[in-house]
């Protein structure tokens, strides 16, 4: 297959770095938790045992219970699902839409470019969390809506990056060669421009997953994200902060989980960037 060697080399460089390899392992662990949540979770996350509410960590409940007597550990494991699903889907929506609009804006230029760029500037001018709050207020929450809303509100960055990429690559001789051979606009864009401008987008994606998870946790914390009783990390922190004295673990562990996952995703993203950029790996 084409480019096989290149990808192999990139992966090799990526995992040769201890930090990148370590963070990849942590991320994989979280993914496994999310996928096999029913296997790992000792209890049903929504089973309320009012008899044993707000217990500290103990033998029955490793991380204790919350104010409804639900097992914190199980809720955290199920919360991983929510975080990762929203993180991944929101980033995918942002990336696909952003790349598409960015490519069109950069390729056609002129009025198309002006319209797309102005809209994206307007989106960027509003802080993401506030924009997302406004959108959830209108469209309602839930996993699907949250993913779409977070995707749209973080799309502008991709548009801008892709537009810049396309503006440079459009100047390359091979793009002109493609045009002179009779490629139509969209074929030229998808066959010649897209593959050559995608690597910074991939880097941006890996780095954005963490940001999005953070944003989702923030929304859930504010009560605008995942609604009860579905377990989500942001929501758990929000609930737990009222009972910090009775069971501090209840509020702290989901916070720590968010922090660890986001840090590891960011470090992994940095690793991907270094591995993909020939200048940083000392080849050019």
Partner 1 sequence: MEHLLELKSMETCFKTDGQLVKAVDNVSMYLDPGEIIGIVGESGSGKSVTMMSMLQLIGSPGKVTGGEVYIRGNEKNMLEYGPNSEEMRHMRGGKISMIFQEPMTSLNPVLTIGYQIQENIMEHLKVDREEAKKRAIEMLKLVNIPDPQDRFDYYPQQFSGGMRQRIMIAMAMSSEPEILVADEATTALDVTTQAQLLEMIRDIAKKTNTSVIIVTHNLGIVARFAERIYVMYSGSVVEMADTKRLFADSEHPYTRALLRAIPRLDDPKERILIPIEGLPPNPASRPEFCPFYERCEYRMDRCRECSKPGLQEIEKGHFAACHLSEAEKRMKAEEIAAKEIKKAPASKAGEEICLDVKNVRKYFPIYKGMIRKKIGDVKAIEDIDFYVRKGETLGIVGESGCGKTTLARCIMRVYKPEEGKIVFNGTDIAGFSDRQMHPFRKKISMIFQDPFSSLDPRQTAESIVGESLILHKLVKNREEYGKRVDELFRIVGLDPALKYRVPHEFSGGQRQRLGIARALSSQPDLILCDEPISALDVSIQAQIINLLEELQSKLGLTYLFIAHDLAVVKHISSRILVMYLGRVVEIADCEELYSNTLHPYTRTLLSAVPVADPLVEETRERVPIRGEVPSLTNRPAGCPFHNRCDKAGERCRREIPRLLDAGENHQVACFLYNQ
Residues lying near partner 1 in the complex (CB under 8 A) are found at 2-3, 6, 172-174, 176-183, 191-192, 195-196
> Minimum distance between the CB of residue 3 and partner 1, rounded to whole angstroms?
6
Which of 234, 226, 252 is CA-nearest to residue 64? Answer: 252
Which one, 2 or 59, has the nearer CB to partner 1? 2
Which one, 52 or 196, has the nearer CB to partner 1? 196
> Minimum distance between the CB of residue 150 and partner 1, rounded to whole angstroms?
31
> Minimum distance between the CB of residue 201 and partner 1, rounded to whole angstroms?
14
167 by DSSP, 3-state: which?
Answer: helix
Which one, 139 or 174, has the nearer CB to partner 1? 174
Which one, 51 or 182, has the nearer CB to partner 1? 182
* Radius of gyration for the alpha carbons in the chain, expressed in angstroms and rounded: 22
Which one, 125 or 173, has the nearer CB to partner 1? 173
> Minimum distance between the CB of residue 103 and partner 1, rounded to whole angstroms?
15
Which one, 3 or 39, has the nearer CB to partner 1? 3
Q: Output the 3-class SS for the chain.
A: CCCHHHHHHHHHHHHHCHHHHHHHHHHHHHHHHHHCHHHHCCCCCCCCCHHHCCCCCCCCCCCCECCCCCEHHHHHHHHHHHHHHHHHHHHHHHHHHHHHHHHHHHHHCHHHHHHHHHHHHHHHHCCHHHHHHHHHHHHCCCHHHHHHHHHHHCHHHHHHHHHHHHHHHCCCHHHHHHHHCCCCHHHHHHHHHHHHHHHHHHHHHHHHHHHHHHHHHHHHHCCCCCCCCCCCHHHHHHHHHHHCCCCHHHHHHHHHHHHHHHHHHHHHHHHHHHHHCCCCCCCC
> Minimum distance between the CB of residue 2 and partner 1, rounded to whole angstroms?
5
Which one, 3 or 245, has the nearer CB to partner 1? 3
> Minimum distance between the CB of residue 10 and partner 1, rounded to whole angstroms?
14
> Minimum distance between the CB of residue 5 and partner 1, rounded to whole angstroms?
9
């Amino acid at each position: 297959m084409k480019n096989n060697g290149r990808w192999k080399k990139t992966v090799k460089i990526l995992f040769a770095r201890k930090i990148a390899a370590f963070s990849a392992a942590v991320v994989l662990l979280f993914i496994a938790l999310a996928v096999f949540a029913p296997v790992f979770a000792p209890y049903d996350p929504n089973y309320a045992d009012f008899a044993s509410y707000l217990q500290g960590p103990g033998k029955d409940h490793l991380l204790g219970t919350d104010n409804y007597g639900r097992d914190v550990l199980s809720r955290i494991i199920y919360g991983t699902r929510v975080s990762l699903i929203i993180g991944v889907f929101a980033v995918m929506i942002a990336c696909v839409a952003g790349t598409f609009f960015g490519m069109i804006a950069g390729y056609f230029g002129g009025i198309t470019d002006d319209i797309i760029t102005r809209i994206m500037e307007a989106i960027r001018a509003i802080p993401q969390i506030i924009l997302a709050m406004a959108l959830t207020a209108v469209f309602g929450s839930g996993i699907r809506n949250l993913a779409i809303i977070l995707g749209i509100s973080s799309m502008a960055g991709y548009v801008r990056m892709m537009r810049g990429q396309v503006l440079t690559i459009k100047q390359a001789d091979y793009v002109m060669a493609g045009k002179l051979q009779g490629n139509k606009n969209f074929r030229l864009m998808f066959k010649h421009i897209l593959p050559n401008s995608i690597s910074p987008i991939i880097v941006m994606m890996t780095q954005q997953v963490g940001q999005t998870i953070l944003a989702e946790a923030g929304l859930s914390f504010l009560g605008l994200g995942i609604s009860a009783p579905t377990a989500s990390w942001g929501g758990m922190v929000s609930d737990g902060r009222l009972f910090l004295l009775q069971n501090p673990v209840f509020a702290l562990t989901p916070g720590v989980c968010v922090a660890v996952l986001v840090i590891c995703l960011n470090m992994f993203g940095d690793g991907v960037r270094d591995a993909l950029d020939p200048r940083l790996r000392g080849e050019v």
